[in-house]
Amino acid sequence: MKKQMIISIKILLVFTVLTGIIYPFFITGIAQLVFPFRANGSLIQKNNLDVGSELIGQKFTGDEYFWSRPSAVDYNPLPSGGSNYGMTNQKLKDTTLAIRELFIQKNHLSENTDVPEEMVFSSASGLDPHISVMAAKLQVHRVSKARSIDEKKIDELIDDLKEPRQFFFLGEARINVLLLNLELDKVSK
């Protein structure tokens, strides 16, 4: 019995060192060599300061910026997640109707406008950095007016930053809101 305990402890220590220290350092080293930008969180810099990540949505509320999709966790990455309200929950209905009304009002749209679902519902993580091209196009007038930039110039910017479907068949073309807003800041100067 004592001999088996000693063998078990040795095996535990070997696998702890192997899988808890050696393997993570090995994989981290490979990632740093092959994909350094991704391995470091896909951080975006402006004036040598980190302003965000390509992978995590941020809150934009001003008229001069394109808005991200709503977040049930107010864009906090630590407790990321959705609201978990079911489709029959009254609070979900009230919240989505209020968000839709605000989107329509702020963007000077008709009540009959088909508002893309990502501008009304939060994502499962609450941190999705992308919106559809249609959602971006619906915000062009508001942003153009707030920044005094020609709408055509903003449309061209959206077309330039449009990311294609993943693997050419998954999802739809999309826009990274942080990247779009940073490019808008450059154009406005």
**Domain range annotation of the chain:** 1-40, 42-188
Q: Mean per-residue pLDDT for 149-163?
A: 94
Cα pseudo-dihedral 157, 159, 162, 167, rounded to 10: -160
- pLDDT, tens digit (0-9, with 9 covering 90-100), for 48-106: 888 888 888 888 988 999 999 998 888 888 888 778 888 888 998 999 999 999 999 99
Q: Which residues contact 125 (CB under 8 A, 6 or more apart)?
A: 80, 81, 82
Report the predicted TM-score, pTM, of the whole model to 2 decimal places: 0.81
